[in-house]
Amino acid sequence: MLFGDVWGFVRCTFRTKPELMVAFGDRIDRALQLCTEGDLTPVLMVMMHIWSYNNQRWCTVDWDHPIVLSARCGHLPAVRLWLAQGIPAQWALSAAVKHGQAEVGSCLIAHGASPLELSPSEQQQLESLLAQPN
């Protein structure tokens, strides 16, 4: 499961820049070996360095953006890393809610995501999700 998540993340990342896979593939391979179940932080650190190195900025949200994938899968460390890079928390709130990720949803709201921007049904789902005991 973890490898599938990581591999999906890597493919998404390099979809438009395959030359980066050639340049950074060895670093990604080493980072994959450092990942533990539920924590993609080593790979994310390499990816963020790659984006910083290439001055690539994320301009729009889409359902394949790494913060959305991280929120959907409930990878809180990954979500926190993307937030630290300045990615808007709002981008991932809907995905966290739809996939029942209460802890991620709470983190995103704490970082400025507005539940009022969700659809009415997602707002209800969020209320229910946050009302559940941990």
The CATH number that applies at residue 103 is: 1.25.40
Residue 36: which domain range?
1-56
48 and 86 inside one domain = no
8 A C-beta contact, residue 70 and residue 83: no
44 and 14 inside one domain = yes
Q: How far is CA 128 from CA 5, 94, 102, 106, 119, in A?
A: 27, 14, 9, 12, 14
133 and 104 inside one domain = yes
Whose CA is closest to 75, among 126, 2, 15? Answer: 2
The total domain count for the chain is 2
52 and 78 inside one domain = no
Q: pTM of this prediction?
A: 0.67
pLDDT in tens, the chain (134 residues): 555 666 666 666 666 667 766 777 788 778 888 887 767 778 777 777 766 555 455 445 556 677 888 898 888 888 898 898 888 999 999 999 999 999 999 999 999 999 999 999 999 999 999 998 86
